[in-house]
């Protein structure tokens, strides 16, 4: 293990948190089902339509072109991005306006279950700074269990299956329908 590597994961999220970013509402627990009553099952995630899938692919491609761009707090352009700036930039290039701050982005579109099987490229993912906390970091799902985000080390791809990210994944939103 590299010296100092134990400090890197907390820095990834703390670098993205913006002062004054509103906290997204916590998910509300479902009330228990009455005896003999079945709880309604959520509808399966609907696949993207071909034209929407192409648009989502273009958004992902735009974000991927930014790999290696340095982290810059409040950054929204090719000279540096913060986490929400990267997401806003990638969508805006394709005519979709999103709010600037991560908490606001996580209120857009349609909420999704956090099961990886239901995620589609272009979905926005929200992460907490600590396991079980409120979302303070966003990334863009790119498929195959990976997401792109701007961390303290710049724009990079990370694996959603990494235990560090698994316990911090708090929200998923589908922007495109």
Provide the annotated active-site residues. Answer: 83, 137, 149
Rounded to an integer, what distance in angstroms lies between the CA atom of residue 116 and that of residue 23?
23
Of 6, 2, 45, 21, nearest to 128 by C-alpha is: 21
């Amino acid at each position: 293990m590299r010296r100092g590597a134990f400090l890197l994961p907390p820095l990834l999220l703390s670098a993205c948190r913006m002062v004054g970013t509103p906290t997204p509402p916590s998910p509300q627990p479902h009330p228990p089902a009455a005896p003999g009553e079945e709880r309604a099952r959520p509808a399966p995630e609907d696949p993207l339509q071909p034209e929407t899938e192409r648009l989502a692919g273009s958004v992902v491609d735009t974000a991927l072109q930014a790999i290696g761009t340095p982290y810059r707090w409040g950054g929204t352009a090719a000279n540096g991005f913060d986490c929400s700036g990267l997401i806003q930039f990638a969508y805006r290039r394709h005519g979709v306006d999103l709010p600037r701050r991560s908490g606001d982005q996580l209120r857009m579109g349609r909420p999704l279950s956090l099961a990886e099987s239901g995620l589609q490229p272009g979905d926005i993912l929200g992460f907490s700074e600590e396991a079980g906390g409120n979302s303070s970091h966003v990334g863009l799902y790119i498929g195959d269990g990976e997401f792109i985000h701007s961390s303290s080390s710049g724009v990079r791809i990370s694996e959603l299956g990494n235990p560090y990210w698994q316990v911090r994944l708090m929200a998923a939103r589908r922007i495109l329908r």
